[in-house]
């Protein structure tokens, strides 16, 4: 299971909640034993792009500050700034 699918499964039905990077990493580690170093929430943001980001269609978060993300879920009609 990819990290994207792990995140959507862990955060399903928690739309609009705010999570820190550490919280997201702990949730995936607890549920799937995913190494915390391999979880990079900023790779999955509607409003933030990292160099080399490959999967633009896998956005699920809105970055709201350093290390803070609002979970919006897949397919969210995001219209804010990128």
What is the domain partition of the chain in residue ranges? 3-71
Phi, psi of 63 (to 5 degrees): -75, 125
Q: What is the pLDDT of residue 80?
A: 83
Q: pLDDT for 19-76, tens place per residue? A: 999 999 999 999 999 999 999 999 999 998 766 555 567 899 999 999 999 999 999 9
pTM passes above 0.75: yes
- Give the DSSP per-residue string, 19-70: EEHHHHHHHHHHHH---GGG--GGGGBSS---TT---GGG--EEEEETTEEE
Q: State residue 51's pLDDT score.
A: 64
């Amino acid at each position: 299971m990819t990290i994207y699918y792990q995140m959507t499964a862990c955060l399903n039905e928690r739309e609009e909640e705010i999570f820190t990077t550490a919280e997201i990493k702990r949730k995936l580690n607890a549920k799937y034993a995913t190494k915390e170093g391999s979880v990079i929430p900023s790779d999955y943001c509607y409003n933030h792009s990292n160099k080399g980001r490959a999967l633009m269609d896998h956005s699920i978060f809105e970055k709201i500050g350093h290390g803070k993300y609002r979970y919006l879920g897949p397919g969210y009609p995001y219209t804010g700034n990128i």
